[in-house]
């Protein structure tokens, strides 16, 4: 009976049947493909969650700002902590404070270093150095401090310690940095303590001459920590940004296998409030980001040794420096600071004028290199830095440390530093005794 039915099928009916079978096969294949894709996505998510689960993730609620928005930009606070362990919360001072501002359309990134010794308003209304906020209240307090004093809308942060930075640099095979003779001397001395903290080895640079050097993790971290040269903490932030820019550029050239190894090593030493989805989105566009110019804050300032505070950088004035930051980051050439910033500016002036913060006799000792300078000269300014096409980060100020080249450059008769080398480089109180 069935045979007779088959014979009665017309050619059209047979064609329709063939098409139906084809559609069923396509649907089955499509279902299988979808299932495979779903499994892959689940696997990727699981893998990503596993990786990101190694990070110190925190949730920040109640972050304050001055009611402002930087539309079209994502602002991120970057903190380099003096932590010797995996504890990245309050109790650690943020020796490195940076603001990374991402133009969401162009993917261009600009960096602003906030000098750690800058006198700024803290949570609770009192005044202290910028790096005190993180120590007292962790990342939330530090972000609130930046938002209130700089008219910013920062909602996210990333914190790292010494070891994380050293690990990354070693895994990207080091970075090339131009150094002056003075920087080489200081870096060699800083390496002693940095090596002890990180448990990593280094090789002392000999002879101690100016040149271009390939620095490993210990050396690069030590270079970024140097502050006892002309320019003090301001010049240290320049070095920190040079290190960061070189790391960024080399990471963008790495393959996925290397990036994965770096993530495994570094994630346990990172703290952030970024969600899993946000991190994946940033990772997806990582190759597109271009780090451009950088700036130090406050760009115009003067130094004082204040009783109860220590060596302090004071913005001259806070309002003008904040306006400069907004012009630099967001292209706002006519930015008018908020009433909050104006109020803080007035409070700082009143406190200094009234003698609330007494200037100690140690000022002359701290600023011995500035004694013969005019008042105009003691107001510091800083040139922007950017990464050149050959991978080196330099300044546009014209005082590069050495002629760039492929190998090490040397000076036959290196000049001695214009300051005395402090005796105990690797003593903890040497680094942080003035905090």
Highest mean pLDDT among 36-50, 142-156, 291-305, 357-371: 142-156
User: Domain 60-295+399-432, what fold?
Assistant: Aminopeptidase (3.40.630)
Mean pLDDT of the chain: 75
Q: Which candidate, 349, 392, 15, 380, places its Cα nearest to that of 176?
A: 392
398-424 tens-digit pLDDT: 333 333 333 333 222 333 333 333 333
286-327 tens-digit pLDDT: 778 888 788 999 999 998 888 778 888 999 999 999 999 999
Query: Which value, in Å, is the radius of gyration of the alpha carbons in the chain?
Result: 28
- Average pLDDT for 43-58: 57
Question: Among residues of the chain, what percentage have pLDDT more than 70?
Answer: 72
Highest mean pLDDT among 55-69, 100-114, 154-168, 260-274: 100-114
Q: How much is the pLDDT for 343? A: 95
Per-domain boundaries in the chain: 13-52, 60-295+399-432
Highest mean pLDDT among 81-90, 102-111, 245-254: 102-111
DSSP-derived pairing of the beta strands 108-114 and 290-297: parallel
Q: Which residue has the higher pLDDT, 419 or 138?
A: 138
Cα–Cα distances in angstroms (integers) from residue 242 to residues 7, 131, 176, 216, in the given order = 83, 21, 10, 14
Cα–Cα distances in angstroms (integers) from residue 247 to residues 172, 292, 337, in the given order = 8, 14, 34
């Amino acid at each position: 009976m069935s045979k007779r039915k088959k014979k009665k099928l017309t050619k059209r009916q047979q064609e329709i049947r063939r098409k139906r079978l084809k559609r069923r096969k396509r649907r089955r294949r499509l279902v299988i493909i979808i299932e495979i894709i779903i499994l892959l996505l689940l696997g990727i998510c699981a893998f990503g969650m596993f990786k990101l689960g190694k990070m110190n993730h925190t949730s920040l609620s109640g972050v304050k700002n001055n009611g402002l928005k930087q539309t079209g930009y994502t602002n991120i606070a970057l903190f380099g902590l003096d932590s010797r362990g995996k504890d990245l919360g309050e109790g650690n001072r943020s020796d490195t404070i940076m603001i990374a501002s991402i133009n969401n359309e162009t993917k261009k990134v600009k960096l602003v270093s906030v000098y750690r010794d800058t006198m700024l308003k803290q949570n609770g209304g009192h005044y202290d150095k910028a790096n005190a906020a993180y120590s007292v209240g962790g990342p939330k307090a530090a972000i609130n401090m930046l938002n209130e004093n700089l008219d910013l809308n920062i909602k996210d942060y990333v914190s790292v310690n010494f070891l994380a930075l050293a690990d990354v640099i070693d895994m990207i095979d080091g970075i090339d940095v131009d150094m002056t003779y003075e920087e080489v001397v200081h870096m060699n001395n800083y390496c002693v303590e940095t090596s002890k903290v990180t448990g990593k080895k280094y090789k002392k640079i000999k002879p101690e001459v100016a040149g271009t050097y390939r620095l490993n993790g210990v050396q690069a971290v030590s270079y970024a920590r140097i502050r006892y040269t002309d320019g003090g903490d301001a010049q240290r932030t320049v070095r920190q940004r040079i290190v960061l820019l070189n790391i960024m550029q080399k990471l963008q050239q790495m393959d996925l296998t290397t990036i994965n190894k770096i993530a495994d090593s570094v994630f346990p030493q990172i703290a952030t409030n970024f969600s899993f989805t946000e991190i994946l989105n940033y990772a997806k566009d990582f190759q597109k980001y271009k780090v451009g110019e950088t700036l130090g804050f406050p760009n115009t300032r003067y130094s004082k040794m204040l009783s109860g505070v220590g060596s302090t950088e004071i913005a001259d004035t806070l309002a003008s420096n904040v306006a400069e930051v907004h012009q630099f980051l967001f292209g706002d050439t006519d930015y008018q600071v908020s009433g909050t910033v104006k109020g803080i500016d007035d409070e700082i002036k009143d406190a200094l004028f009234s003698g609330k913060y007494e200037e100690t006799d140690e000022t002359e000792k701290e600023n011995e290199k500035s004694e013969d300078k005019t008042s105009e000269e003691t107001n510091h300014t800083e040139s922007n830095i950017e990464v050149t096409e050959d991978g080196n980060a330099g300044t546009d100020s014209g005082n590069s440390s050495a002629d760039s080249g492929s190998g090490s450059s040397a000076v036959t008769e290196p000049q001695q530093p214009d300051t005395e080398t402090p005796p105990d480089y690797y003593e903890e109180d040497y680094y942080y005794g003035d905090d």
